[in-house]
A and B are shown apart, each in its own frame.
Chain A
Amino acid sequence: MPVLQETVVAIRSDGDIVAARQQGRSLAAAIGFTATDATLIATAISELARNIVMYARQGEVIIRSVEISNGKSIVIVARDNGPGIRSVEDALRDGYSTSGGLGLGLPGVKRLMDEFAIESELGQGTMVTIKKWLR
C-alpha cells in the first residue's frame, strides 16, 4: 500500500482536535478531494479525536494519503490505550452514548466515510480506521 503522505497528530487536549482536523483537511486537499469531501473528512476526524480526549484522555490520529491501482484514498487511524468499548455493537447504534453526549459519534462518522472499522478491547484501548476514496 504505497503511502503518499503521512501525518501523526498526538491527541492530548481539545486544542489537538482542531490541529488533527486541519491536518486532515490539508492532506485531503493535497490529493485532490473537493472542498465538500475535505469537510466531511475533517468532521469525521474531529469526532474521532474528541472521543479520544473524552474517553481515553490521550492517543493519536494518523492521517495517510494512499495510492493503489484502483485510486487514491485517505485513511485515518484514531487509536488510544484507553478503557476500550464494552459493546462495539451498541456504540455503533444511533442514539447510544455512555458519556451523556449526543451519542451520534461513531454511526455519524461511518456515514461520512466510505469504509469504517473498529477494534476495541476492554482495558486495552480502541482503534478506529476510516477511509474515503477520491472520486
Chain B
Amino acid sequence: MEVPILKQGRFLIATIQAALSDADLLQLRRALIDKVIHFRSNGVIIDVTALDVMDSFATRTLRDITNMIRLRGAGTVIVGIQPEVAFAMVQLGLTMEGVATALDLEEGLEHLQLRATGKI
C-alpha cells in the first residue's frame, strides 16, 4: 500500500490511507526523503488519521523520518493520531519525544507556516 505524497508549495503532505506493513513504512520513509531532497521542501506533514495501531516499529520509523528531514533543515508534523492510538502508545511506552504533532491537517500546516517564517 503506497502512501500518496502531495506537493503544496514548499510543503509535502503524506496521507496514510490504510494500515501499513513494516515494508510500507520503510517505503514511505524512502519516498519522503527523496521528495524532500528533490523539491527542496521545507516542511512535511504526515497524516496518520487512518492508522488504527501505532506500534513500536511505526513510531520509530516516523521518528526516524522526522530526524532525517530535520537534518535537511525541514520540519515535520505528525497529524491525526487517534485518541485510542495515543492511549495505547503511552501505555506501551512510546512517547515520540522531539516530534511535532498537531490535531489535524489544518493545524499542521499552521505549524509549518509559523516554522517557515521563523516564529517557532
A18/B88 in contact, CB under 8 A? no
B60 at the interface (CB under 8 A from A): yes
Stretch from B39-47, B49-57, B66-74, B111-119 at the A interface: B49-57
Residues of B within 8 A of A35 (CB): 84
In the assembled complex, the CB of B25 is this many whole angstroms from the nearest CB of chain A, namely 9
Residues of B within 8 A of A42 (CB): 52-53, 88
B91 at the interface (CB under 8 A from A): yes
CB-nearest residue of chain B to A102: B56
A16, B53: Cα distance in complex, Å: 14
A-B Cβ contacts below 8 A, count: 75
User: Interface on chain A toward B: helix, strand, loop, or mixed SS?
Assistant: helix
Residues of A within 8 A of B19 (CB): 18, 21-22
B22/A39 in contact, CB under 8 A? no
B55/A111 in contact, CB under 8 A? no
B87/A39 in contact, CB under 8 A? yes
A22, B91: Cα distance in complex, Å: 19
B17 at the interface (CB under 8 A from A): no
User: Interface on chain B toward A: helix, strand, loop, or mixed SS?
Assistant: helix
Residues of B within 8 A of A47 (CB): 55-56, 92
A36 at the interface (CB under 8 A from B): yes
Residues of B within 8 A of A94 (CB): 93
B94 at the interface (CB under 8 A from A): yes
CB-nearest residue of chain A to B22: A14
B120 at the interface (CB under 8 A from A): no
List residues 14-70 of chain B with CB under 8 A from any CB of chain A: 19-23, 52-57, 59-60
A46/B91 in contact, CB under 8 A? no
A50/B57 in contact, CB under 8 A? yes
B57/A111 in contact, CB under 8 A? no
Given known contacts A101-B60, A104-B56, what 5 new A-B pairs fall within 8 Å (CB)?
A36-B83, A36-B84, A43-B89, A46-B53, A46-B57
